[in-house]
Amino acid sequence: MTTLAHHSTHGLFTSGEPVRSWTVSTAKPVRYEVGFTPDVLDPRNPALAGAGVPGDGPAPPRRLLVVETTVDELYGDRLRAYGAARGLDFQIHVLTAHEQLKTMDAVFSVAQAMDRFGIARRSEPVVALGGGVLMDVVGLACSLYRRSTPYVRVPTTLIGLVDAGVGAKTGVNFGPHKNRLGTYHPAAQTLLDPRFLATLDRRHLSNGMAEILKIALIKDRELFGLLETHGSRLVGENFQGPSPVVRQVLGRAVHGMLEELQGNLWESELERVVDYGHSLSPTLEMRALPELLHGEAVCLDMALTTLIAERRGLVLPRERRRILDVMRGLALPIWHRLCEPGVLGEALADTVRHRDGSQRLPLPLGIGDAVFVDDVTPGELAFAAERLRTYHSEAEETGRGFGEAGHE
């Protein structure tokens, strides 16, 4: 509902003319769908052809598909066969996407493809097939194109499935800053198909596991237990094994993420538990480019904040040991040469600017809960980094973990 309030104040100015002003107030309902859709490229599955449009829409349905280069190489034939079998009038725009190409140039390339295709804004949602970078780029292009064009996400990486594909944010990097230009523009529909993970390499699977671990650490102790027991096997099997644990882990991760996002989609509340792992990591990730992947930087942040939490008595030594063991078991880094006081101090300062002048730093509370603090000191960051450096080098040498090598 939109309201218009008209104010008229007499006598403010010496002329005696009434001062007139208006306040427009409105609320825009937002609704979007996220759902598991196994075998999304099976021609018998109507989900992709109909995604993002209410009812049937015009026939034959027209679609612009923006597909990441590797995804096109691996799945392009099946995608084209799908389009033909479902009677789609479609074009495919192939775009190479990785962190260093997450720029406005990529957004313009999508906008040009939309122009060439002649998108009918209301009935022809753009379909994005790829990882987090491709979806963030297409989301931003669609949000800008004619001030808002609907789109559909089909994530093909693990980060895409559990994180980048389910929220409302779009964005690209700008200057040295991660996701500095962006909007809130959720896809009308996201189709989650874990089959795409069959071709994803180990490193990118581990990378996605970091975001699942984030949810486990701040709100889902049971999920942590599943990662502890089955995490490395799930990665080893590319999430394709027959065990119900695959569904449980992916389902809990997506549910946990959406539970946190839904009440705060526009992030007006600055204390967000899902920011866990994202306080120091944006600077680390951008400084290390292309060396660290997103989830790897997130894991470094989680390792540092776990040690800070332990020193404050929020996490027990044995809980810290379990957490670091899970990180190692998932082949995620817990230390990097950029984890030094200078860089970490700058990273924290940038986050404070981003969070309106306060740290609002989520720290783990045991396993499965979190608290916010505003008073982390440079000394605490340095201490945590130094302990992790020692742990890292001892683990490299001995193959053993924290505690086992005598650190309690």
Ligand X SMILES: NC(=O)c1ccc[n+]([C@@H]2O[C@H](COP(=O)([O-])OP(=O)(O)OC[C@H]3O[C@@H](n4cnc5c(N)ncnc54)[C@H](O)[C@@H]3O)[C@@H](O)[C@H]2O)c1
- Residues in contact with ligand X by CB under 6 A are 68, 70-71, 74, 97-99, 102, 130-134, 136, 156-157, 159-160, 163-164, 167, 169, 179, 196, 199-200, 204, 207, 294
Residue with tokens 């950029």: 338
* β-bridge pairing 361-364 and 370-373: antiparallel
Q: What's the token pair of residue 385?
A: 């980094």
Whether 8 contacts 19, CB under 8 Å: yes
- CB 296 → ligand X: shortest distance, Å? 10
Question: For residue 146, what is the DSSP state?
Answer: G
- CB 189 → ligand X: shortest distance, Å? 16
Helix (H, G, I), strand (E, B) or coil at 160: helix
Q: CA 407, CA 405: separation in Å to the nearest integer?
A: 6
**At residue 33, what is the residue type?**
E
Q: Which of 192, 190, 174, 172 lies closest to 182, judged by CA? A: 172
- CB 347 → ligand X: shortest distance, Å? 15
Closer residue to ligand X in complex, CB, 196/391: 196
Closer residue to ligand X in complex, CB, 207/395: 207
Whether 172 contacts 104, CB under 8 Å: yes
Helices (H) and strands (E) in the chain, counts: 13, 12
Whether 350 contacts 283, CB under 8 Å: yes
Closer residue to ligand X in complex, CB, 253/388: 253
- CB 208 → ligand X: shortest distance, Å? 6
Whether 362 contacts 371, CB under 8 Å: yes
- CB 65 → ligand X: shortest distance, Å? 14
How many alpha carbons fall within 13 Å on the CB side of residue 154? 27
Whether 233 contacts 319, CB under 8 Å: no
- CB 24 → ligand X: shortest distance, Å? 29
The distance in angstroms from the start CA to the end CA of the chain is 59
**Catalytic machinery residues:** 169
Q: CA 215, CA 276: separation in Å to the nearest integer?
A: 9
Closer residue to ligand X in complex, CB, 156/190: 156
Question: For residue 260, what is the DSSP state?
Answer: H
The dihedrals phi and psi of 355, each to the nearest 5 degrees, come to -105, 35
Q: CA 325, CA 279: separation in Å to the nearest integer?
A: 22
- CB 324 → ligand X: shortest distance, Å? 22
Q: Could you tell me which residues come within 8 angstroms of residue 6 by beta carbon, excluding any fewer than 6 positions away?
A: 20, 21, 22
Closer residue to ligand X in complex, CB, 203/233: 203
Closer residue to ligand X in complex, CB, 68/319: 68
Closer residue to ligand X in complex, CB, 136/220: 136
